Amino acid sequence: MSESPRRREPIPVTVITGFLGAGKTTLLNRLLEAPEMRDAAVIINEFGEIGLDHLFVSAADDGIVELSSGCLCCTIRGDLVTTLEGFLRRLDNGRLDTLSRLVIETTGLADPAPVLQTIMAHPYLVMRYRLDGVVTLVDAVNGSSTLDEHPEAVKQAAVADRIVLTKTDLPKGAARAPALVARLHALNPAAPVLVAADGAAVPAVLLGAGLWNAATKTADVREWLAAEAYEAGAGHDHHGHGHGHHDHGHEHDHAHPAHDVNRHDDRIRAFSLSTDRAVGAGTLEMFLDLLRSAHGPKLLRVKGIVKLSEDPDRPVVLHGVQDVFHPPVRLAAWPDEDRRTRLVFITRDLPEGFVRRMFDAFASTPATDTPDAAALIDNPLAITGFSGRA
């Protein structure tokens, strides 16, 4: 089935990540058998010693690309762009009939952010590909100690759209799973935790995590944003603001009695902000610019739907990974009756209160001790805690 070379739908991209040995290749092998993966391509940044040869065989002829040197996230990032462009070229010149989907498996140590940014920040790739979701695998046997020891693993779990828990079929995994699930939920309240051994990690759930529902061709904002999950939080909602995870200290010990304070986890915050008020497009841009330029690396993931005062009936969808934001997408209408601006943040080393104060100032929500938006713009250093470029 070949597509028309014009008016192609953007190709959904799923990024599979997870710590070393978490089960990425095993899952990928299973996924490749699914009908949803027909005409899909897989990019693996390195071939492990374990038998990937049959992957080669079971996938479409030239669907698998090995990026051979080092880590996809850093050393060969240029190659990822080249590979993604190469697929488009082959599609456009008819050497490749169809590319229904792309799955990128990162190495265990990789930070998924640069992979997401490669697509979001590229003026052409962002038109032809769309990020569908980040799937993070966590091994139930070693997951907890991996999270304790490796901040990258915490980050992988925090930015996931879906978390897959592997190795619960092993006795140790089964025993450790409940505490681990609680911890993952605290880190990332919006991502469903799917237990691989239960057969829950199926393509229908793993793929299709993005904003666009391919079947209905509409924006599935509610599910994508999952703002309610942040509002419900992980049981730490003391201020009624929707905290996924905040205060240091005692509460954590209940969930993770076997651990010391989970320092890496404590650096992560997941929270949502919302307002009924419309904001001006310029104000929104300034808010994001300010946040991004001063704190970009701390914004692990930002998603949102925003009511603009210029055109309140057509909301804008935002999606950012660190300092890189997808070009805002304007929806033709609000997807449902909830017409509030809603933003969800997953941050590292950036307190919720700071973002909230800044947001409130820009949204002109009355708040004590907060300069108004004009004052912030005139003098960004006026914001308490702001550590911008001098």
Ligand X SMILES: Nc1nc2c(ncn2[C@@H]2O[C@H](COP(=O)(O)OP(=O)(O)OP(=O)(O)O)[C@@H](O)[C@H]2O)c(=O)[nH]1
Q: In the β-sheet with 162-166, what is the strand arrangement from edge to edge?
A: 64-66, 40-44, 101-105, 11-18, 129-139, 162-166, 193-195
Rounded least distance, CB 142 to ligand X, Å? 10
Return the residue of 34, 81, 121, 170 that touches ligand X, per CB under 6 A: 170
166 contributes a contact to ligand X by CB under 6 A: yes
Provide the mask over 71-110, with x wherever binding to ligand X is found by CB under 6 A and - wherever it is not.
Answer: -------------------------------------x--
Specify the residue, 21 or 143, whose C-beta has the smaller distance to ligand X. 21
Q: Which of 11, 15, 24, 40 binds ligand X (CB under 6 A)?
A: 24
49 binds ligand X (CB under 6 A): no
Per CB under 6 A, does 25 bind ligand X?
yes
Check binding of 174 to ligand X (CB under 6 A). Answer: no
Site string for ligand X, 195-234 (x = CB under 6 A): -xx-------------------------------------
Give the residue with the Cβ less far from ligand X, 163 or 324: 163
Cβ 160 to ligand X, closest distance in Å? 14
- Taking residue 241's Cβ as centre, other Cβ atoms within 10 Å add up to 17
Q: Cβ of residue 180: shortest distance to ligand X, in angstroms?
A: 14
Q: Give min distance, CB of 195 to ligand X, in A.
A: 9
3-state secondary structure the chain: CCCCCCCCCCEEEEEEEECCCCCHHHHHHHHHCCHHHCCEEEEECCCCCCCCHHHHHHCCCCCEEECCCCCCCCCCHHHHHHHHHHHHHHHHCCCCCCCCEEEEECCCCCCCHHHHHHHHHCCCHHHHEEEEEEEEEEECCCHHHHHHHCHHHHHHHHCCCEEEEECCCCHHHHHHHHHHHHHHHHHCCCCCEEEHHHCCCCHHHHCCCCCEECCCCEECHHHHHCHHHHHHCCCCCCCCCCEEECCCCHHHHHHCCCCCCCHHHHCEEEEEEEECCCECHHHHHHHHHHHHHHHHHHEEEEEEEECECCCCCCCEEEEEECCEECCCEECCCCCCCCCCEEEEEEEECCCHHHHHHHHHHHCCCCCCCCCCHHHHHHCHHHCCCCCCCC
By beta-carbon distance, which residue lies closest to ligand X? 23
Closest to ligand X by CB, 34 vs 197, is 197
Q: Does 66 bind ligand X (CB under 6 A)?
A: no
Q: Does residue 50 belong to the site contacting ligand X (CB under 6 A)?
A: yes
Q: Which stretch binds ligand X (CB under 6 A): 74-82, 164-172, 299-307, 315-323?
A: 164-172
Q: Name the minimum Å distance from CB 106 to ligand X.
A: 9
Binding segment (CB under 6 A) for ligand X, from list 14-22, 84-92, 142-150, 290-298: 14-22
Which listed residue (11, 12, 15, 23) binds ligand X by CB under 6 A?
23
CA distance 311 to 315: 8
Among residues 276, 289, 373, 380, which one has the least CA distance to residue 328? 289
> In this structure, which amino acid lies at residue 40?
A
Q: Which is nearer to ligand X, 21 or 244 (CB)?
A: 21
Residue 340 Cβ vs ligand X, minimum distance, rounded to whole Å: 39
Question: By C-beta, is 174 or 214 nearer to ligand X?
Answer: 174
- 20: contact with ligand X by CB under 6 A: yes
Question: Under the criterion CB under 6 A, does residue 176 sit at the interface with ligand X?
Answer: no
The region of 17-25, 118-126, 248-256, 351-359 touching ligand X under the rule CB under 6 A is 17-25
CB of 194 to ligand X, least distance (A): 11
CB-based burial, 284-296: b 16+ in 10 Å, e otherwise:
bebbbebbbebbe
Q: How far apart are CB 174 and ligand X at their closest, in Å?
A: 11
Among 13, 14, 15, 18, the residue binding ligand X under the rule CB under 6 A is: 18
Interacting residues with ligand X (CB under 6 A): 18, 20-26, 48, 50, 108, 166-167, 169-170, 196-197
